[in-house]
Structure 1
Amino acid sequence: MKEWIRISLALSIFGFLKEIRPSEPFVYEFLIDHRWRNLTEEEVTQQVYPVGTYSYLALLVIIFLITDLCRYKPLIILLGASGIVIWSLLLWTKTLFEVQIVEFFYGVFCAAEVAYYSYIYAKVDKEYYQQVTSHTRAAILAGRAFSGILAQLLISFSLTNYRDLNYITFTAMIVATVWSLLLPSVEKSIYFHPEDLRTEPIVKKLSNAFKLMISHFTTSFSNTYVLKWSLWYALSTCGFIQVQTYMQPLWTAIVNDHSKPIYNGAVEAVLTVLGFLGALIAGIIKTNWRMKGELTLTMCSILQAFAIIYSSRTEKVFLSYVCYVIFGGLYHFMITVTCSEVAKYIEDDSYGLVLGINTFVALIFQTILTAIFVTDGVGFALKPRDQYFVYGCFHLLIAVIFICIGLIVWMKREKDYRKSVVL
């Protein structure tokens, strides 16, 4: 077996294992169930979930830098270890404060994923980037789909309860962590351990690393085309994470009857498959995104907005499920296009930095939304339905922004065209 295939397979197995989290589609129901917790719905949405958002934001930049400095593998191990901590605390703790600690470690878990996504690019040659990206993405989607289907089957056939799902996730995190120990170490990295400076003193390495980062940042974001797509990436990712995080409370509010069956796992599995198909279609479509980009981004944002607003008003949970799948499918389709367009106009080695910055900006926006509309004692602490009406309006605002950008681009093209005609 070729070395790059062996490494790609090893990382893909880890990616599959870390996504086996069947407890996640039903974690909200688990937390508010009086049999295992004494938490109210308001405490979970207004005091527990926001901690994860804030910790994710605080840790992302630090972990991004540490990932490159530590050469990836230690942070992948941290990813698995934080998963063990999360689900052990969920299983064997009860108080509000302890669940807030869980959310802090969930922030560590999410932030450490940057190591997983960037490790492969430090271990294989550039000529194999497309293949290994496909392998690792497929492994993640397969893990999520398997996890959602497994969770739904176990709950629908009353084979387990919500708490028992955490044992499966806990076991998967242990196996993933053990597997991470077997991953090959990385000898070089983009910023702190480049090939040509491996024997240099640490001070020179640090100086060159930050100079290269600044150079990549300046070159990438001085390009208005990259800046435009990065703005949509940040705003839309903010909206997607926020909608995904608080979707279960909305469904609980719509159903309003804990005795009725719910299909959260099945919905997440369908969304995962649809996301995979959307990403595949985005890779196949041949179009001039320079000419049609603003219009497509605007239309997708409008459709997402109406899907979320309708979800916030409907009394039928199945319609909300459909709207959520449509919303997520559009996001996965356009985020694939966005990443591709950004990658075309930046230096190869700066891809991780640019997407890391875009994600950080998305988390800043998400933190603002969380503080204003969700967190108790800080903002309005809205009910789930009112929150989702706000999120729908947020996506309408994204559409308005890109209508304005589209008009500016169109007027500039017309002006340049008239000048060329006169000349």
Structure 2
Amino acid sequence: MESWLKISCLLCIFGFLRELRPSEPYHAEILMGEWYHVTQDEVNRSVYPVGTYSYLALLIFVFLITDLLRYKPVIIANAITGICIWGTLIWTSTLGGLQAVEVFYGFYQAGEVAYYSYIYAKVDKQYYPRVTSHTRAAMFVGKLVAGILAQLVIGMKWMNYKQLFYISVSSQVAALLWAFFLPKVEMSLYFHNRSEAIEGASKSVAGNLEKGSEQARVEEAEPEKKLPAWQLLWSHFRSAYTNPLVIQWSLWYAISLAGFLQITTYMQVVWKSFANEPTIAWNGAVDVALTLLSAVFALLAGYFHAGRLSTRSSLLSMALLSILEGGCVLLSCWTDDIYLSYLGYVLYGGLFAFTITVASSELASSLEEDSFALVFGFNTFVGLILQCILTFVVVSEKANLNLNVFQQFAVYAFYFIVIGVVYSIAVISQYIWSISRKPKAIQETN
């Protein structure tokens, strides 16, 4: 087996074990059950928001220490955090205990950056597309198996909801043990790039001496490589965000991600609020359907989008799909039938997978430097800021809106609809303006 494939397989097994958490589809069901001394309103307004704020506060810090510590220590720390989270959920029963868990969960979510970026520091660039698909597929498979296992165990009444935590904490222990087998990373993009630059420059010099024509490329490439970490970070940031296309797609990415995180965080609270809630919740089956549809839609996005749509057409299609996403969210919260709510949520998840894949592809194609992790990390940070604003305005009691959970989701639905309408108007206006400019340009040339 080739070394890059071996490393990819090792990381994918970790990703699978990390996502093998059958308690996730029933998290709200468990917290609002007989095992915890909290009300539904406390879970909605006092527990989940802590995780959102924690994720925001820790994301940039985790991104920087991931590069500084060269990935593997953060991956190990992330697995240890997972053990702490689901281990604590087994024995705690108080509001304060659940809020402490959410603080750790913020770090657990932020730690995904180490999982996704580790592989890029270990394999050659020519394998990036393959290893990216491998690592994301591993996460999908982990979620899929977790959903199937959860629904099977609950449906067959082999365990109660809370006992699913035992499986989740066991998978985190397995992920921790497996993480120690991951090869050590010698180089990173910002804080440990000097020796790599020297080696790369030496190879380039040797190659140029043979070819006798490209010595200038080394001289041009070396100055940026010799920059201190903070200056290199700023150089990449400035280069990316002075590109109008990067700004355009980054805004879309952040705004869309904020809505997605808010909906996935609170959707289970909506289902728990239905009057006709089934005896056995089908959350596991819904997660399975959502994962499968998301995987299919992501693949379709890559197939239909690659070289087939212009940037303007892509943006217009995203705007129209955003309106559809809002419609799906409305279906999930305005219906009296919980099964239609399940359907609306699954369709929304599939559409989001399509749109976020296109946005990510457009962003990646607009970046000229090795700044993918920085740009996507910063865009996620902006998305979390927007999510925190949504949480404070819509969910928090301090805003005094006093919206119930169904009304909150109606706000999120119109959030997507308004985004779609605004982007549609912007794209159409831009197109009309460019058409009106053509005759003037022709007259000037004549």
TM-score, normalisation: structure 1: 0.95
Distance 1:382 1:265 in 2: 28
**Residue 404 of structure 1, CA deviation:** 3.2
Matches for 1:85-164 after TM superposition, within 5 Å: 85-164=84-163
Does residue 238 of structure 1 match 2:265?
no
Distance 1:164 1:107 in 2: 23
Once the two structures are overlaid, the 10-residue window that deviates more, 373-382 or 304-313, is 373-382
Distance 2:114 2:196 in 1: 21
Does residue 283 of structure 1 match 2:282?
no
Distance 2:175 2:419 in 1: 38
Counterpart of 2:420 in structure 1: which amino acid?
Answer: A
Q: Deviations over 1:209-261 (max 9, x none)?
A: 1111111111111111121111111011111110000000111112454x622
Distance 1:185 1:376 in 2: 47
Does residue 225 of structure 1 match 2:248?
no
Does residue 273 of structure 1 match 2:292?
yes
Partner of 1:349, secondary structure, is: coil
Q: Which residue of 1 aligns with 2:7?
A: 7
Partner of 1:347, secondary structure, is: coil
Q: Deviations over 1:304-336 (max 9, x none)?
A: 111112221100011111110110101001111
Once the two structures are overlaid, the 10-residue window that deviates more, 369-378 or 38-47, is 369-378
Distance 2:356 2:440 in 1: 35
**Against the structure 1 CA distance between its residues 414 and 381, is the aligned structure 2 distance closer, same or farther, given a 3 Å change threshold?**
same
Q: Which residue of 1 aligns with 2:202?
A: none
The runs of 5 or more residues in structure 1 that have no matched partner are none
Partner of 2:397, secondary structure, is: coil
2:312 touches 2:427 (CA, 8 Å); kept in 1?
no
**Residue 206 of structure 1, CA deviation:** 11
RMSD: 1.7
Q: Which residue of 2 aligns with 1:253?
A: 273
**Residue 347 of structure 1, CA deviation:** 2.4
**Residue 412 of structure 1, CA deviation:** 3.8
Partner of 1:33, secondary structure, is: coil
**Residue 29 of structure 1, CA deviation:** 1.0
Find the structure with the greater CA-based Rg.
2
How many residue pairs align between the two structures?
Answer: 417
Q: Deviations over 1:176-221 (max 9, x none)?
A: 011111111110011111144789xxxx999621111111111111
Partner of 2:379, secondary structure, is: helix
Q: Which residue of 1 aligns with 2:383?
A: 362
**Residue 19 of structure 1, CA deviation:** 0.3
Does residue 68 of structure 1 match 2:67?
yes
Q: Deviations over 1:153-176 (max 9, x none)?
A: 111111111111000000000000
Q: Which residue of 1 aligns with 2:220?
A: none
Does residue 59 of structure 1 match 2:78?
no
**Residue 400 of structure 1, CA deviation:** 2.4
2:258 touches 2:386 (CA, 8 Å); kept in 1?
yes
1:294 touches 1:405 (CA, 8 Å); kept in 2?
no
Q: Deviations over 1:15-42 (max 9, x none)?
A: 00000000010011111112x1111000
Partner of 2:371, secondary structure, is: helix
Distance 2:363 2:384 in 1: 19
1:243 touches 1:388 (CA, 8 Å); kept in 2?
yes
Distance 2:189 2:92 in 1: 41
1:192 touches 1:206 (CA, 8 Å); kept in 2?
no
Q: Which residue of 2 aligns with 1:380?
A: 401
The runs of 5 or more residues in structure 2 that have no matched partner are 199-223
Does residue 336 of structure 1 match 2:357?
yes
Does residue 37 of structure 1 match 2:36?
yes
Distance 1:333 1:183 in 2: 32
2:258 touches 2:383 (CA, 8 Å); kept in 1?
yes
